[in-house]
Structure 1
Amino acid sequence: MQKLNDLSRSPSPLDPDGTLIAVIELSLSSWLVAGIVPGVERQPLKKLAVDESALLKLLHRWRDEAAKAGHHIKRIAVAFEAGRDGFWLARWLRAHDIEAHVIHASSVAVSREHRRAKTDRLDTSLLKRSFLGWLRGERDHCKMVAIPTIKDEDAKRPNREHESLVGEPSRIVNRMKAALIRLGIRGFNPKLKKAAGRLEDLRTPEGAPWVGQNPPGMVT
């Protein structure tokens, strides 16, 4: 029996004759949308501007094409990889009665051929196969990410900011140490209170004084 929170396969049975399937390859400047339309032999591929309304019109147009071919579409399922764009598009699609899913990128097995020839067309083909297997209830194709609400995302923001602030001092210290090591200066602790005042006394292994710009993050 499938667990309630099992995101490795679809909880709903797939009716291939009544389901329009689409995947989206997202980029900064455009979206590449690939579809599987019941009753339509060709598998359409359409490049769109970054426009959610244009995407919805495209899905509805494909639905109408399926209807002309004698297939009544009861379900429109759309998926795209988790990434920079976050979850806003999935929430928007769901608000417009489209079943939307976000694929965990690391859960999709990529062959060596795809690594050698990475293109949007190859990516959408791979996503379609993975998403179709997931919809069929088959394991090991891909895993979905739980789509958070805006409230959930806002709740995570303070934690993210705290983690960033905690990590920033370590990043700056490491940059300072690396800048000095490149000159052969070791054993200098930038975290000491009097570290800035000791910069003038630093010497390279050749005996030359520390000159030039300060290491990143160090202010004298």
Structure 2
Amino acid sequence: MMSFTVIGTPFSTFTRTITLGLHYKRGKEGTLKLRESLAIVRYLDRVAPQPTLCISAGDGRALIEEQMWEFVSMVASHGFPAIEFGVVKPRMALTDEGKATDAEIRESINTGVNRSRRFLTIIEEAMSPEGYAFGEKLSWADFFLYPLLADLRAIPEGELLSERMLAWMESMDKLEAVKATTPGTLSAGARPS
């Protein structure tokens, strides 16, 4: 069994993506240094191909594997800034500061909420109507999206999550990898240090 060391805070959504994959693949520590999430997950798939977190043609809505990587890219490039920097982090900073009312906080993050709403609509349209992001097969798409939506669900703006997204999250919550990576996250009540 390959083993790995992850250097990052559990509060980080990208750190959680990597640790979700490692828990799923049962890896623990190593010496190679990679810094970017996409490079790390591609490496993990190469050195620990089973259980796979890639999709194949015919897995749910997927015609080709690149659809999963496109999904991952949209989450990292558009979802992360919209949800984390537009909603979650500003909400938490203002809440922790304790000076603004909920109405003032909502007004302050309204632009981020609107961007997040658009992102969620687009990403949900790319998902299979049930099951994981691409149907019955768990993939990197799920592990990239879950940390963002777990943070969103932990704050009042979690009301943006549709029934489909909430059902998907409930199925994700049952995974041992998700349970193992929950401590130290916003959904467990942690705050950035």
TM-score (norm 2): 0.26
TM-score (norm 1): 0.24
**Greater helix fraction, Structure 1 or Structure 2:** 2
- Which one scores higher on RCO, CA 8 angstroms, separation ≥ 6? 2
For the pair shown, which has the larger CA radius of gyration, 1 or 2?
Answer: 1
**Greater strand fraction, Structure 1 or Structure 2:** 1
